[in-house]
């Protein structure tokens, strides 16, 4: 019963998160940076209170190692969300990111010299085929949407889509490399997943200063969205902030 309930919570949480992200992106396609920033702030606050005990608990893994991991994690998070600006549909975004199995296997073979069973190679081949088909159909959809405009507009839209695919591919490989680095740290220092989660979200926060203009502009746009009354607490809040809050919580 406990396992089934845990699986249900994961399923509901993931689906809810994607739904609210879709609502955000549908209204403001370029809101990836403010979404990423909000997620990082929320996880940092939660970890600061419950994991580090308000900063009193010393890290088990050296901060210098976390800095390397953080650089990769920050890059992956920003690129994944920013790719939505390049004609990447949400279903393709989700399916493409599921290709982490492929990236992990490729880098595992190259870097760790791992070998896998034939059944695992077959499974990866099937997943790869599914991602390839979805990507091709998404490219066709981009061309169909652009068919009403000029040839130049259609070519421009398709090139933006290709850039988005390149960004997702890079983020996928970078994420797999980060996983390998994290695996080596856990072998050396022991597994401290909650601590890693905190530092991976806390240390990159200054990096958002580079994106502060975009984050500020989207916060203004969010403030101008339709106000909604939350009857339970008697407070009116712009709908986009509600979507963002629910995305972060889930």
Q: How much is the pLDDT for 84?
A: 82
CA nearest neighbour of 180 among 116, 231, 107: 107
**Alpha carbon distance 83, 167 (integer Å):** 6
pLDDT band at 137 (very low <50, low <70, confident <90, very high): confident
Q: What angle do CA 80, 14, 198 make, to 5 degrees?
A: 65
Lowest mean pLDDT among 110-114, 135-139, 214-218, 234-238: 135-139
CA nearest neighbour of 40 among 83, 82, 74: 74
**The pLDDT of residue 145 is above 70:** no
Place of tokens 């991602």: 131
Question: pLDDT tens digit string along 7-66?
Answer: 788 788 888 888 898 899 889 988 889 999 999 999 999 999 999 988 889 899 989 999
Joined tokens for residue 132 = 């390839």
**Domain boundary assignment for the chain:** 16-249
Joined tokens for residue 41 = 């702030």
Cα distances (angstroms) measured from residue 50 to each of 37, 59, 186, 192, 199: 20, 13, 21, 14, 13
> Phi and psi for 54 in degrees, rounded to 5?
60, 35
Average pLDDT for 182-205: 90
**Alpha carbon distance 67, 181 (integer Å):** 12
**Alpha carbon distance 27, 146 (integer Å):** 20
Count of residues for the chain?
250
Lowest mean pLDDT among 1-15, 36-50, 61-75, 119-133: 1-15
Joined tokens for residue 88 = 């990447």
Angle between helix 2-27 and helix 239-249 axes, rounded to 10 deg? 150
Question: Which run of H or E residues covers position 238?
Answer: strand 235-238
What's the distance, CA 231 to chain centroid?
32
Question: Is the whole model's pTM more than 0.85, yes or no?
Answer: no
């Amino acid at each position: 019963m406990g396992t089934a309930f845990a699986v249900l919570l994961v399923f509901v949480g993931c689906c809810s998160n994607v739904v609210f992200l879709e609502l955000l992106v549908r209204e403001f396609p370029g809101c990836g940076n403010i979404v990423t920033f909000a997620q990082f702030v929320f996880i940092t606050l939660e970890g600061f209170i419950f994991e580090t005990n308000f900063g009193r608990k010393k890290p088990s893994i050296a901060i210098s190692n976390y800095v390397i991991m953080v650089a990769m994690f920050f890059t992956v998070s920003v690129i994944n969300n920013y790719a939505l600006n390049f004609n990447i549909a949400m279903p393709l975004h989700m399916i493409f990111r599921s290709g982490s199995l492929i990236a992990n296997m490729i880098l595992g073979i190259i870097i760790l010299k791992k070998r896998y069973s034939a059944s695992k190679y077959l499974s990866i081949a099937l997943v790869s085929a599914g991602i390839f088909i979805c990507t091709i159909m998404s490219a066709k959809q981009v061309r169909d949407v652009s068919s009403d405009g000029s040839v130049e507009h259609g070519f421009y839209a398709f090139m933006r889509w290709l850039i988005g695919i390149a960004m997702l591919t890079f983020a996928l490989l970078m994420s797999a490399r980060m996983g390998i680095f994290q695996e080596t740290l856990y072998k050396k220092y022991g597994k401290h997943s909650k601590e890693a989660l905190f530092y991976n979200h806390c240390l990159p926060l200054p990096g958002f200063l580079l994106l502060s203009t975009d984050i500020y502009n989207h916060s203004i746009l969010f403030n101008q969205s339709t106000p909604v009354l939350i009857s339970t607490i008697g407070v009116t809040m712009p709908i986009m902030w509600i979507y963002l809050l629910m995305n972060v919580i889930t």
